[in-house]
Each structure stands twice: as C-alpha cells, then as structure tokens.
Amino acid sequence: MIWFAGPVIAIAGKAPLESEWARLLTIAAIFTIWVIYHWVMHILAGRKDRQLMNELAGAESGKSIEQQASAEELETLKQGFEEALKVLRESMAQGKGGKPCLYELPWYAIIGAPGSGKTTALVNSGLKFPLAERLGKNFVKGVSGTRNCDWWFTDEAVLLDTAGRYTTQDSHQAVDASAWQGFLQLVKKYRPRRPLNGVLVTLSLADLLQQTEEERNQHAAAVRRRIQELYQLLGIRLPVYLLLTKTDLVAGFIDFFADFSQEDREQVWGESFPPDDPAHPKDWLQGYDTAYDELLQRLNKRTLKRIQDERDLQRRSIILDFPQQMALLKSPFIGFLQKVFAPNRFEQPFMLRGVYFTSGTQEGTPIDRVMGVLAGAFKLDRQVSPMYSGRGKSFFLTRLLKEVIFPEAELAGSDPRVERRQKLLQFGTLATALIVTLGIIGLWIVSYHLNKATIAKTEDQIALYRAVDITPTDSRSNFKLLLPKLDALLEIKNLWDGTGLLSHFGLYQGGKLGAGADDAYEEMLHGFFLPSIVSRLQERLQAKPDVLSLKAYLMLGQPEKLDPKVVEAVVRADWEQIFNSEPETVAKLANHLQKLLQLKLAGTQLDQNLIANSRAKLTQISPDQQCYESFKTQMGTNDRSHDFILADSLKPNGTKVFTYTDAVNKGFGVIPGLFTDWGYGEFLKKSMVFVKGCMDQNWVLGIPDASTDPREIDRLHDKVKLLYLHDYQIDWSGMLAGIKLLPAQNMEQTINLLDVLSRPDSPLRLLLVAVERNTSLTKISSLLSQAAPVVDDSTRQLLAAAKQAAGFQSGSTADPVRWMENYFENLNLLVRGVPGQPVPLDTVLKKAEELRNYFMQTGGGTKALQGGAAIGNDVVGPAKLEFARLPEPVKTWLMSLTSSGISLGQKESEKALEKSKKEAVAKKQKEANDKLKELGIAGGGGGADAGVAGKAGGPSQCKTAFAGRYPFERNSPQDVPLADFSKFFSPNGIMDQFFQAHLKDLVDTSSPQWRQKPTDGQSPVLSQSIISEFQLAAKIRDAFFFGGGTTPMVQFDLKPLELDANADSFHLVIEGQEIVYRHGAEQVTRIQWPGQAAGSGARIVFEKPDKSQAVLSKEGPWAMFRLFDKSSLQLASGRDQFNLTFQAEGLTARFELRAVSVNNPFSLGDALNFRCPESL
C-alpha cells in the first residue's frame, strides 16, 4: 500500500512519499517497529512462562523441606515440567498480537479422591498428548499415582491433574491444604483474568459402593470445600463436571456393553444441564431423580436385545441384573450429589454442568450389589465375581471431553476485578494512544497551518516584490523604488528564521523557501543595491565632491581599505537629507546597508575620470573645511540618542506654555547630539585624533602623505574647532528664536500661563537650565584636567590632546569657546547668578506669580473698574520694569504676556459691565414672573410640570385645574370644573386681573395678533408665547361669559332642517331642555348652557319605526360640548351660523345652529388649545 499509494498522498501540494527512497525508508521503519514489538512480546511471554514454571515447581519446596517427599523427586518433576513447557512453546504457534501461550488453550483442573481414576481417565480418553514421545510414558502416566500435580498438555486443552490428597486432605492436612492453596494462587497470579476454564470432579463408583454412609458424607464435604475454595480463591464461577469413574466395577457393565463398537464407546453417557443465569442459578439436582430413572429405562430397553444376542446363560443373568445394579446406586449417588452440589444461602452456588458415567479401563473385581442384598437377606454366602482378564477399553470418555467439556471453555466467568483492571488498562492504553495520535496529528496540523500561514505571508511578500517593476537605470538611482523589493526579500528571510519549533514538526518548508529568499536577497544586495549606492556616490561627487563621499566611493572599489563605519556614515547622512521627513525609510535602508557591508564584497568598477575630477575640486577646498565636514558627517550619524529634544526637556508642562516654529535649522525643536554638552565632550576626545587622521588619509585625494609636524596638526585643529563652535552657536540661537509663548485668548488662559511659568518646575526654568548646561563649555574643559590623574600613560596622551583642543595650549590669544559662551552669557546668568546673590530667575518668576495673583483678584471684571487700578499700579508696573531688563527672548515672552493680560482685562471689564445691565433687566423680569406664580397662573422652575401655587410651592392652580382636562384636552375623560373655569377666565378673573394690572400697558391689543409694545429696554421683556396665551384667555372670556357675568353662559338657537327617513322622531335633551322633531314643521328653539338642570348631561334619541331607539349620551358639566364633538359642526356663514348634524347608529338629524353673538365657543377654534403660562 505504501509503495503504490504513497506517491498519490499529498499534503499542502507536497508528496512526501513520492521518491522511492522515501517509500523504502517508510516501509523499513514500519517493519522494524513490527519486529521489535513482537520480539518484546515474545520475550515477555517467555519470561512469564518461566516464572510460572519456576514458582509452580517450587511451590512445595517453598513450604517446609521436611514436608516434601524428596528433593530428587521435586527436581525430576521440575525438569519434566520445564521440558513440557518447552515442547508446548515449540509445538504451538504464538498467539496473535503477542498473546502469551498461557491463554492459548483452556485450562481444566481435575480433582478427586486418591485412586478415583483421574489419571486413568485421561490416559484412556483418546486425547493426543504431544509430550508423550518426548518425555516418555512414565511422565504421562505418573509414578504410583499423582504426587502433587501432573500437567497434561493436549492439542485442545491443558489439564491439571491434582493429587488426590489435595482433595481429601486426610493424610497431612496442613501440608496438603497449604500446597493446594499455593497451587491455586500461582495459577491465579499468571492467569489472573481466567485462571481456569472448568473443574472436573472424579468420583469412583467403587468408593461409592464400598464406603459407609459416614465416609461418603466426609468425602462429599471434602469435594464441596475444594470447589468452594476454587471459587473463592480464583474469584470466578467455574463450570463443574462430575465424572463417575470405574463404572466397569459395577457387575454386568462389561457384559452389558460388550457389543459396543469403538464409536459407540466414544459417545457420552450421562446428563448435561442447560446453562443457568449467574444472577438466578437453578438447582438442577431437583430434577436429576427423574433423569436417573430415564437412564435406567434406556438400560431396560436395551436389556432384552442383549439377552437375545447373548448365548451364555450365566452372562445372560449378569446382563439381566445390570439395570438393577445401577438402580441400587441411585440412592447413595443422589445423596452424594445433594451433599456436594445442593445450594444454600451462605455459599456461592456451583455451576454443575453435568453428571457422566465413564470407564477408563477394566481392572479389578466387579461388585455385585444384587447378590449382596440377596445374600444378606437369606443368610447365604456371598460369591465373588471373577476379575476381568481381557484388554482394557475406555468407555464414554472421548466425546465427553472433546465435544462437551472443551467446547464450553468460554462458560467460565472472568474475575470482575481483573476485568475492570484490564478494561482500565485497555482504556488507558487506547486513551494514551489516542492522545499521542491526536497530539501528533495536532502537531502536524499546527505545523501545517503555521507553514501554510508563513507560505501565505511569503507569497504576499513575493507579490509585493513582483509588484515593483525596476530597470537597471532606475534601480541604480532610486532607492525608494528598490526598498520594497529589499524589504520583501528580507521579510521572507525573517519569516522563516523566526518560525518556532512547532513549524519544524512536519512539513517545514523553510529549508527551501528561506534558503531561496537568502540567496535572492544577497543577489539583490550585490546586483542592485550596491550599484545604486555607488551610483548615488557618483552623483554626489559630480554635484559637490567631499572627502568622505570620495573616501566611501574608493573603499567600495578597494575592499582591502573598506571601513564599514565610514561608508555607513556617509551613505546614511545622504539618505537623511533625501528622506528628511521619512525616518522609517532611512532606518530600513540603513538596515539593508548593514546587511550588505557584512557580506564579502568584490571590488566595484570605479569611474577613474570622476575620481580625478573630484580630487581636483577637493584640492581647491580648504583642508579644515574638508576635515570638519567629514567629522560632522561621521559623528552626526553614529548615535542619535544624545540629541536634545525640546519637548522632552520641558516635560511635563512645556507644551502648556510654549510652541515651536523653527525657521532657521528646521529641526522641529531637535538639536543634534554633536552640538550638546555630550557632543562637545566627544569633540574634545576625538577631534584631535580625527584631524590627525584627516592628514593621514591623503591617499583619498591622491597626494603624498602630509607632514606630521604637530604645529600643522594644531593649526588645522584650531580651524576645525572654530567651524564647529560656529555651527554650535547657530543651532542653539536658532532654536531659541523658534520658541514662542502660546497666545492667550482670554484672561483665564493668561492666568494659567502665568501660573505654569511661576511654578517650581517652570518650563522657563527648565529651558534656561538646559541652555546653560549645553552652552557653558568651559565646565567640560575643566573636567578633562581633573580626569588626568586617574588614567594610564597611553590615555594621558589622548587627554593632553583633548586639553589642547579645549584651549589649554600655551600662548593661545583667542579662545573661540569664550566667544561662544559670551553669546549666551546674559541668558546663562539668569540661572547661574552671581556668588552671594539670589538667582535672578527666582525674582523674575516671583514677579510672574504676583502678576498672576493680580489678574486672579481683579479677574478683569468690575473690580478692575473700581479699585483694581490702584492695585495694578503696584503690581503691573514693577513687573514690566523687571521684565524689560531681561535678555531676549525671555524679555519678549514675558512683556507680551503682561501686555496681553492687561488688554484682555480691559475687554473682560467691558463685558462685565454689559452683563450687569442684562442682569438688572432679568431681575425685573423675575419680579413679574414671581407675581405670575403668586397669583397661581404659572408654575415655578420654568418646566412644563414644575411650579408653585402661590408662595407655598407645588403645581400651579392653573395646571391643577386645566392640565389634561376637557375642553382643553379633547380626548380626556376628566372635565374642568366650572368654578375653576370661571375663576380664571371670567371678567375680572385671575387671568384678566393680571393682564390688566401688569401687561395691559405693555401689549398692543388693537391688532388681530397681540404683540408687545416698543419698550425702552428697562421694562420686563415679554415672550410672544405668553402674550398669545393671554390673548387666548381673552377670547375664551368673551365667548363663554356673554353679558359680563361671573359664571359661564352660552345661548344659541337650534332649528331642525332634516331627519333621516329611517327614523320616526328625534329627541335632543341638553341639561333639562328638550327638542323633539318628527318630520313636521320647523320650529326654532333657544338653548342656554348651563341649563336649568345643570350637570344632568346631554343626549340624542332616534326612534325607529319598530319602536327601537338609537341613543347617544354624554355626562358631566361639559356634556353638551362633548355631544357636539361627536357630531358634525360646520361653519355656514359669518361667525355665528353653523350646520349641526347629529349621528347615531347610521341615522342622522341636521339642524341649523345660530349663536347670539359672533363671540361664541363654536367659533373659537385654536383658542381651546390654551396652555398655562410658564414665565414672562
């Protein structure tokens, strides 16, 4: 299968068994594992067999030597047993799967009294004994009976022939019992699951006929105990087969069965019981009495035939008596069976499988029970039957063992404890195998997915690589175009280098893809990246040659002179200029450059004409400028961790005060580390050596080595130092010029700026301290002289050169360090101070704090207009005088902040005055609102449901009476009480009184839409919404209070116009006033609301021809209006005439409604949407 199916099995597109060698190795590995496994199983099985053999053979010797018959006999027995096991192993095939031969064949134990015919029955059973020829007949037969245990190895079973004394234990009870139990324990130990497959119990009929009743009972009890011990010690329920041996000693047996052929003699004579349920065992002995009678009947049936066939009269008589002989055995035999196998509740019931009569051979004198009975009855002499003198034959044995007992080998149960242990072991083994298998599969899956994911990422990088199309002309000058390809190849390399151990468990593809990426990456570096660098250096040399660029260019063409640090510094400095806003691009290119310089480079073909032209131009540039530019290039790119970053130096509050806009060096508040106190120290340590190196590298310019005269070196160094300090001053002064104070938009921001500036951790203090530390260079020079005593001689020379570079040379007349320090001297004195006097900056910050306190006290509000001016003269004036004496740019910062604060204070004072005027207006408005609440018209708090009733608090009277009630809420089931309605809306009611007292002069009521009259700005300002509510209240007053009364009154006339043809009559009842209409004359009726029966409700009734009625009724003081709401009321003409149509159950009655005034409730419309006013 592996050979033919292996090549077609693929994982992730790869066929691991595709090659012949892979398949051969796989087959060899599987075969080797199989051989090793079976070899180990064979060794374990043999070891276990030898251990069992040794322990069985030494079972007796393990007790006491005194109780053994003889050591020689034991040795002989041991040797015979060893030979038996050896022959058995050689003659039997090893069990499948390494199964030990101990379980290959069923094991049966044969127990019975001494001389009961156990061995004779086996010898004459017709079974095959493979050891008979190897070990001799005596071994098979035994010597003078069985001493302890004989092992009979047949083709079909292993039979353990135990000594008779083990059963009876009547000679040396302690020795026999101990040997018997030791034997059972050994069998149990080495066949724990099923020690035995059955037990054969032999009972000699001679013993049964000759023993007294007491002896038979003792014999039965001994057999019962042995079987019970088997059950208990072995832990299983064994099938038991009872074999009645020496049946030939019953008188007449030989003659009765003399005509039997060999096939007849091999048949089974006895009774087999059906298998029982271990949980519910049956007592088959209860029915064995009948079975025995049936056996006698079969004998009687055969008797007549045998007598007819027999001519000898004496033998006829014997044959005739044989059934009676067997009948006389019934009583003692049944009694014996009951004693041995009868169940009881205190012991485990035996599994008796059958009772069988057998005869192994014919020896001895037959016992005639019939003649014995007659002789005893008539007092006659008892005649002795003659002994059998013929050749012995076996009766009823062969098929009994082969076809009855051996096929039932699986009936024996298994030890539950062993079964549980075996199941647990099997489960554990399977679980372990499953876990291991799942673990291996899991590792394969994980490895597969990790490799798959890495391959997917690799493919992504390959896609990125292929997405960039470059040509040799472009790639040599455009690093931005090369970078994606280099990044993609390097990322592939890093992907496979970074895979963990799990990726290597299985189909690891890094060996192919990773190695290929490495080769492609190196090829890209050599073939494209290096030529691009060379091309870029050529461009620089053509545009503006410098010594370092020329030096790097020559090193790439002469690998023996290559200094990676020089090349990296030159190329990176160029990249930082090209990609000044892309630091990530510079970092990536620098990383690839480092990878390139780590490789073994071959000499690049250089442009000799370019070299000559560059050298010619460079010789025209002063040596000091060349050397300084080289030093700055090399030092400026080595380490950026020492750069001065303004934002970091002013933490935590710098960004709350300062902003930075650098128009000079465009460094975004960053000064290179070369121009810091650290950089100056590095300059002192390395500049002299570097200058000397500049003079030693004249090979770059193609000129002979320069003179090494120390004076020449000193002069060159002084010039380089002057250039360095000039740039140093430019960087720091440019940064200070770019720092600005954040502009304050209001007084609060001004106060915050002054507060931050005057704190102990003031950003201004931090800034000036940083400037002083980095521009007081003399301190660093003095440290060099203090370091001299602690260094060795070799270092002292370097320190001497550094001290000389710092300005310690004798005869120096102009020190550029002093010149540079003088430039920043005034700023530095603010934090350095003069000995014996306070630090000036503390006084400055104190003034800033006083100014902050002044602004906080006045706040730019009305206080500034009142007494703030006097205080300001005591604070602002001294502060401005102090700030005016400060050096730039601190002077500008603080003076502008002070002026801005004063200006903002004046503006906020004006705002405060305007605010006070508005507050006066609001106060007057509040007074009117309070009156509105006091009268109960509006609620407090300004909310829809908030308010006070009078001054006691709670909802307003208006909302309590009207909110959510009819008629102001048309669908509400609750009505507005008429008393509350009158209280608020009647002439001279609450609404009318308030309007007349407070709003009449402010509101123009002459126009259809009431509006506020023009005011002088001092009266309460009214909202249009509250004016509209008072106008609605006036409309309600005019409509409901006709005649100017204090209670509502509405009058109108109703004239019937039409009645539905399906109605006989129509009745309208409004608070006791009734109108009846029956298709007759039209009569006008005056209706008044409220009526004489006020509150009695309103209803309409249609009487139909069948005397049934259609009724619609409403209750409450507003019942009439509710009834009209359910009808159709439409304006006819003017504002006082309407068409009113009543409806109920599809019937209609149409009336004309004419109000007594144009100001009536029926024409109010939106007026009934009145809402209680909230505030003025």
DSSP 873-909: HHHHHHHHHHHHTSPTTHHHHHHHHHHHHHHHHHHHH
Is 1150 in a helix, a strand, or coil?
A: strand
- The amino acid at residue 372 is G
Q: How does residue 297 score in pLDDT terms, banded at 50, 70 and 90?
A: very high
Region 387-402 average pLDDT = 77
> What would the two tokens of residue 605 be?
């073909």
Q: Taking CA 672 as the corner, what is the angle to CA 670 and CA 678, rounded to the nearest 5 degrees? A: 120
> Would you place residue 209 in the very low, low, confident or very high pLDDT band (cuts 50, 70, 90)?
confident
Residue with tokens 């790119």: 637
Please state the rounded mean pLDDT for residues 193-210.
90
Task: Please give the single-letter amino acid code of residue 1002.
Answer: L
φ and ψ of 956, to 5 deg: -70, 155
Yes or no: say if 257 and 247 are a contact pair by the CB < 8 Å rule: no
Give the whole-angstrom CA distance, residue 350 versus residue 340: 9
**DSSP annotation of 978:** H
Report the pLDDT value the prediction gives residue 311, as an integer from 0 to 100. Answer: 87
Q: How far apart are CA 882 and CA 876, in angstroms?
A: 10
Q: Tell me which residue of 993, 1020, 978 sits closest to 1117, measured CA to CA.
A: 978
Residue (of 995, 1120, 997, 996) closest to 1048 by Cα position: 1120
**Amino acid (one-letter) located at 111:** I
Tell me the pLDDT tens digit for each residue of 496-518. Answer: 777 777 776 666 776 677 777 78
Q: Is 345 left (phi over 0), alpha (psi -120 to 50) or beta?
A: alpha
Range 813-817 average pLDDT: 68
Q: Give the per-residue pLDDT at 144.
A: 40
Q: Which residues 6+ apart lie within 8 Å of 845 measured at CB?
A: 757, 758, 762, 764, 765
Region 267-281 average pLDDT: 80
Q: Report the distance separating Cα 576 and Cα 368, nearest Å.
A: 131
d(CA 837, CA 1116): 97
Residue carrying the six token digits 């051979």: 361
pLDDT single digits (tens) 304-316: 898 988 888 888 9
Q: Is the pLDDT assigned to residue 181 strictly greater than 70?
A: yes
Please indicate whether residue 1075 or residue 440 has the higher confidence score (pLDDT).
Answer: 1075
1104 pLDDT more than 50: yes
- Judge contact between 356 and 325, C-beta under 8 A: no
More confident residue, 828 or 4: 828
User: Concatenated DSSP letters for 473-498?
Assistant: HHHTT-HHHHHHHHHHHHHHHHHHHT
User: Considering Cα of 855, then 856, then 858, then 861, what sign does the dihedral take?
Assistant: positive
Mean pLDDT of 1084-1093: 91
Q: If you average pLDDT over residues 917-945, what whole number do you get?
A: 56
The amino acid at 597: L
CB–CB of 148/109 below 8 Å? no
SS3 986: coil
CB 245, CB 205: distance < 8 Å = yes
Structure tokens at 238: 């064994």
pLDDT at 131: 58
Mean pLDDT of 1140-1145: 94
pLDDT bin (cut points 50, 70, 90) of residue 15 is low
**Cβ proximity of 1039 and 1125 under 8 Å:** no
| Percent helix / strand / coil, the chain, rounded to 5 | 60, 10, 30
Tokens 């109000």 map to which residue?
1155
Angle at which helix 840-858 crosses helix 868-884, to 10 degrees, equals 160
Buried b (16+ CB within 10 A) or exposed e, 284-319: bbeebeeebeebeeebeebbeebeeebeeeebbebb
Q: Where are the beta strands (DSSP E) in 173-266?
A: 198-204, 239-245
Work out the burial of residue 652: count CB atoms within 10 Å of its CB; fewer than 13 is exposed, 13-18 middle, 19 or more buried. exposed
Once rounded to an integer, what is the mean pLDDT over residues 463-486?
69
Residues with Cβ within 8 Å of residue 449, at least 6 apart in sequence? none
* CA–CA dist 658, 757 (Å, integer): 10
Q: What is the pLDDT of residues 443-464, one digit of tens each?
A: 778 878 777 887 888 788 788 7
**Do the bridges between strand 1011-1012 and strand 1050-1059 make them parallel or antiparallel, or are there none, so unpaired?**
unpaired
Residue with tokens 């400060």: 886
Which of 533-537, 1046-1050, 1126-1130 has the lowest average pLDDT? 533-537
CB-CB contact of 667 with 689 (8 Å): no
H or E element, residue 1134: none
Mapped onto helix, strand or coil, the DSSP state of residue 726 is: helix
What is the CA 448 to chain-centroid distance, rounded? 22
- Identify residue 1024 by its one-letter amino acid code: Q
Number of neighbouring beta carbons within 10 Å of residue 551: 20
R_g of the chain computed on alpha carbons: 65
| Cis preceding linkage at 878, omega within 30 | no
Over the chain, what is the mean pLDDT?
78
In angstroms, the CA 123 to CA 361 distance is 10
Question: Is the predicted pLDDT of residue 568 greater than 80, yes or no?
Answer: yes
> What mean pLDDT comes out for the span 907-926?
69
> What single letter denotes the amino acid at residue 975?
D
**pLDDT at position 936, please?**
54
> How crowded is residue 871: how many other Cβ atoms within 10 Å of its Cβ?
15
pLDDT of res. 631: 82
CA distance 4 to 728: 80
Give the bridge partners for 240, in sequence order: 199, 352
DSSP-assigned letters across all residues of 428-443: HHHHHHHHHHHHHHHH
Q: How, if at all, do strands 1065-1070 and 1098-1103 pair? A: antiparallel
Report the pLDDT value the prediction gives residue 863, as an integer from 0 to 100.
52
Q: Which helix (H) or strand (E) holds 70?
A: none
300 band by pLDDT with thresholds 50, 70 and 90 = very high
Helices (H), 1016-1125: 1024-1040, 1119-1125
Mean pLDDT (whole number) for 1044-1056:
91
Q: Tokens 């005591």 correspond to what residue?
A: 874
Q: Would you state the structure tokens that stand for residue 1053, as one six-digit string?
A: 């006339």
CA 260, 265, 271, 273 torsion-angle sign: negative
Rounded to whole angstroms, the Cα distance separating 783 from 806 reads 11
Tell whether the model's pLDDT for residue 702 goes beyond 60: yes
Per-residue pLDDT reduced to its tens digit, 157-173:
888 888 787 788 777 77
CA distance 499 to 521: 19
pLDDT in tens, 738-775: 899 998 888 888 999 999 989 989 999 999 999 999 98
607-633 average pLDDT score: 81
Among 76-90, 258-272, 471-485, the range with the most confident prediction by mean pLDDT is: 258-272
- Calculate mean pLDDT across residues 570-598: 85
Alpha helices by DSSP H, listed for 739-815, are 747-757, 763-775, 778-787, 793-803
- As given in the structure block, the two tokens for residue 12 are 């992730």
List beta partners, residue 160. Answer: 109, 151
Average pLDDT over residues 251-278: 87
Mode of pairing for the β-strands spanning 149-153 and 198-204: unpaired
Per-residue pLDDT, 1016: 55
Q: 83 pLDDT exceeds 80?
A: no
398: enclosing H helix or E strand:
helix 398-399
Distance in angstroms (rounded) separating the CA atoms of residues 798 and 1172? 97
Give the whole-angstrom CA distance, residue 857 versus residue 878: 17
Burial status of residue 525 (CB atoms within 10 A of its CB: 0-12, 13-18, 19 or more): buried
**pLDDT tens for each residue of 351-382:** 999 999 999 887 766 766 544 544 454 444 55
pLDDT digit string (tens) for 953-985? 334 778 888 888 998 888 899 999 988 999 989
The one-letter code for the residue type at 768 is L
